[in-house]
Amino acid sequence: MQQRTLVMVEIALMTALAFILSFVKFPGPWVQGGSISLIMVPIFIMAFRRGWRVGVLTGLLVGIVNLMYNASIIHPIQMLLDYPVPYAVLGLAALFAFRNSEGKLSVPWALFGLLFAGFLRLLSHIVSGVVWFGSFTPEGMNVYLYSIGYNISYLLPEILITLVVVYILSRAQPDFFHMKKTTPLPS
């Protein structure tokens, strides 16, 4: 019971931290949504610290909070593809959180997981861009290429910045990423 409470408190704190970090933005030309921030860092911390289920739950909550405060909604499916889904899939980075016999995180594999999960987030935004924001495509340009280019323009820098921050954290505080035994969350 005490372990479950601790996990729930960590999820709540990291969700709140992600929300706060979403306001620390790097400026850019993205008029149809998208920005570069540190919003993904707390999700990856939870994924690497507590496993993929907790990482996905944390990402889902971050997406829902982001939806409540920063949403641009055109269609219910677009809403899912731009908010809860792309943040929830970030928790899947933990599938690559391999550990040595002492439980220490393999940083190269974790960073690969971060890139993999970032790619899944990118795919979600690309699909949304093609289907619901295709009307913004400049005349004569392929809608798929436009959506890919638009979404890569902010997500690639955000993924790379997040990768550097997570790497620095893993080197400065390796015990922070030490896998903690989790108890299933209440249903």
**Which of 167, 165, 133 has the alpha carbon at shortest distance from 150?**
133
**Residue 104: count of CB within 10 angstroms of its CB:** 14
DSSP annotation string for 150-166: HHHHHHHHHHHHHHHHH
pLDDT of 33: 64
2-25+34-177: CATH class? mainly alpha
**Rounded CA separation 66/90 (Å):** 15
CA torsion angle for 133, 70, 161, 62 (degrees, to 10)? Answer: -110
Domain extents for the chain? 2-25+34-177
**Which of 20, 37, 17, 42 has the alpha carbon at shortest distance from 154?**
37
Cα distances (angstroms) measured from residue 159 to each of 37, 40, 109: 9, 8, 15
What's the start-to-end Cα distance of the chain, in Å? 14
pLDDT tens string 60-98: 999 999 999 978 888 899 999 999 999 999 999 999 999
pLDDT of 31: 62
pLDDT tens string 3-43: 899 999 999 999 999 999 999 888 777 666 678 999 999 99
**Rounded CA separation 45/27 (Å):** 25
* pLDDT above 90 for 169: yes
* pLDDT over 70 percentage in the chain: 93
Q: Give the DSSP letter of residue 179.
A: P
pLDDT tens string 85-139: 999 999 999 999 998 888 888 999 999 999 999 999 999 999 999 988 888 888 9
Cα distances (angstroms) measured from residue 148 to each of 9, 27, 73: 37, 20, 20
